[in-house]
Structure 1
Amino acid sequence: MAGYILRRLVSTIAVMAMVGVFVFLLLRLAPGDPATIIAGRSATAEMIAGIREQLGLNDPLPVQFIHWVSDMLGGDFGISIFSGRPVLELMSQRLEPTLSLSILTMILSVTVGVSFGILAAWRTGGLVDRLLAVFSAFGYSVPVFVIGFVLIYFFAIRTHWLPVQGYAPINGGLGPWFARLIMPTVALGLGYIAFIARVTRASMLEVLAEDYMRTAAAKGASSYAMLFHHALKNAGVPILTVIGISFAYLIGGVVLTETVFNIP
């Protein structure tokens, strides 16, 4: 067990190192000069050269990479070339709305998606199963920003039921906080609900076809016991894996959804 954990740790560090090198090279070798952007259009060559020297852009790439990694490990993410403010400060300002939207979306996606998938597997070929197929096609094909604009139009502009945009901190009350997160949560969660529901359905169908499930049914086991005590427990590994992967993707997808709903 200890050897397995050590191998996983080493492989994780190796992957993080490769990703770090790739991101660094992507930023450094991309077209454009950060010093020119910071200095502005009216800057002289001397001003641009001074900024390059200050930022260490004249150093060799290996030296720049070492400084970049050491600064990040020390909590220094640098200064934004667009706003002129510390990057860590900008990240901390977005932390609460990002986590709030991500966690709410994950709760909605897991609750509805797993329930929908279990019902579809239990009544395969029935109405719920057909509805899941239609909903999955809709959730996969319609972009998040389109769903967001539709929700804004109907629930904010036409009916005035919900705020059209913005974010209310949770310490200001659960009501305003939740009201401003309902629409972005639904917009972001539809695709994840469809994904989790399809995986849950497939995993449950595979388990329900096993011999021990037929034996349990022959012995008179209740539907609840068969679904939750036997089938869902054995089908849980792929479902949990998909939920973990979905949450990782969700953190990145939140940024676009926050932009659509103008959450600062």
Structure 2
Amino acid sequence: MVTYIFRRMISAIVVMAMVGVFIFLLVRLAPGDPADIIAGPSATDQTVADIREQLGLNAPLPVQFRRWAGNLLNGDLGTSVFAGRPVLQLIRQRLQPTLSVSLSTLFVSVTVGVTFGILAAWRAGGILDRVLIAFSALSYSVPVFVVGYCLIYFFAIQTRWLPVQGYASINDGIGPWLARLILPTIALSLAYIAFITRITRASMLEVLSEDYMRTAAAKGASPYAMLFHHALKNSAAPILTVIGLSFAYLVSGAVLTETVFNIPGIGRLVVDAINNRDYPIIQGVLILISGIYVLINLAVDLAYTLVDPRIRY
């Protein structure tokens, strides 16, 4: 078990090192120059050159990478070119809205998706199964921004049951915080509910067709015991995989949802940074998202050993 964990951690470190190199080159080689944006359209070439010198953009790429990687290892993501503040501080200010939407969406998606998948597998081929599969196909096909604007129109503009846009901190009270989360959570969770439902159904059907499940039914095992004690436990590996990936996608895919619902999260921070060619913010957020991907994949790999001890060896 210790050897398995050590191997997975070494792999995670190697992956993060490769991702760091890729992110640095991707941002640096992309079109656009922050010095031009800072200087403005009427600036002279000398002014632009001076700004590039101040930002350290005239140094060769290996030198820029060495500086950036050294600061990164010390926990310094750099300073925003336009805000003039540490990138880590800006990310911390935007982290609560993004995590709130992501965690609430993950909770709803896993709860509803796994339940729907179990019901669909239990009634495979029946009316309930067909309805749930049709719902999954429809939910997965409709873009998030379409669902978001429809929800805003019906539940915020027409009925005025919920706020239109914005975010309320949890420090302002549970009620306002939840009221601002309902619509973005529903809009973002529909696609993930569909995805988790399909994976859970397929995994459950595969396990339910095994000989030991027929033996359990012949011995008089209850449907509850067959579905939850036997089938769900033995089909947990692919479900854990899709849940882990879903959370990583939620954090990185919150850009569109935060734009539709005007939520001041990390997604909005990235959009503004891209428009301004703010290299430190772009690199810092990409590294953060990549780290979340790697850590979640590592956690999922370790969770496999709990549901299937054979993986340890």
Q: Which has the higher contact order (CA 8 A, sep 6+)?
A: 2
Q: How far off its partner does 1:258 sit?
A: 1.2
Q: Secondary structure of the residue that 1:217 maps to in structure 2?
A: helix
- Paired AA for residue 96 in structure 1: Q
Match of 1:52 in 2: 52
In structure 1, distance between residues paired with 2:227 and 2:176: 38
1:98–1:255 Cα contact (<8 Å) kept: no
Q: How does 1:247-258 map to 2 (within 5 A)?
A: 247-258=247-258
In structure 2, distance between residues paired with 1:38 and 1:200: 51
Q: Secondary structure of the residue that 1:78 maps to in structure 2?
A: coil
Asked if 1:132 is matched to 2:108, the reply is no
- TM-score, length of structure 2 as denominator length: 0.81
Q: How far off its partner does 1:239 sit?
A: 0.5
- TM-score, length of structure 1 as denominator length: 0.95
Q: Structure 1: which 5+ runs fail to align?
A: none
Asked if 1:213 is matched to 2:213, the reply is yes
In structure 1, distance between residues paired with 2:250 and 2:83: 26
Superposed CA RMSD in Å reads 1.4
- Paired AA for residue 243 in structure 1: I
Match of 1:17 in 2: 17
Which digits, 9 at most, give the CA deviation of each residue in 1:133-161, with x for residues without a partner? 21121122110010000000000000000
Match of 1:161 in 2: 161
Match of 1:102 in 2: 102
Q: How far off its partner does 1:82 sit?
A: 4.6
In structure 1, distance between residues paired with 2:180 and 2:157: 14
Identify the range of structure 1 (96-105 vs 82-91) with the bigger mean alpha-carbon deviation.
Answer: 82-91
In structure 1, distance between residues paired with 2:99 and 2:242: 19
Q: How far off its partner does 1:107 sit?
A: 0.4
Identify the range of structure 1 (243-252 vs 25-34) with the bigger mean alpha-carbon deviation.
Answer: 25-34
In structure 2, distance between residues paired with 1:44 and 1:223: 77
1:144–1:257 Cα contact (<8 Å) kept: yes
- Paired AA for residue 261 in structure 1: F
Q: How far off its partner does 1:191 sit?
A: 0.3
Q: How far off its partner does 1:11 sit?
A: 1.8
In structure 1, distance between residues paired with 2:29 and 2:117: 46
Match of 2:305 in 1: none
Q: How far off its partner does 1:164 sit?
A: 0.4
In structure 2, distance between residues paired with 1:54 and 1:206: 61
In structure 2, distance between residues paired with 1:67 and 1:176: 43
Which digits, 9 at most, give the CA deviation of each residue in 1:96-149, with x for residues without a partner? 111111110000000000000000000001122111221121122110010000
Identify the range of structure 1 (26-35 vs 153-162) with the bigger mean alpha-carbon deviation.
Answer: 26-35
In structure 1, distance between residues paired with 2:249 and 2:169: 24
1:165–1:262 Cα contact (<8 Å) kept: yes
Q: Secondary structure of the residue that 2:162 maps to in structure 1?
A: coil
Match of 2:259 in 1: 259
Q: Secondary structure of the residue that 1:262 maps to in structure 2?
A: coil
Match of 2:230 in 1: 230
1:37–1:81 Cα contact (<8 Å) kept: no
Q: Which runs of 4+ in 1 moved over 6 A?
A: none
1:78–1:87 Cα contact (<8 Å) kept: yes
Match of 1:170 in 2: 170
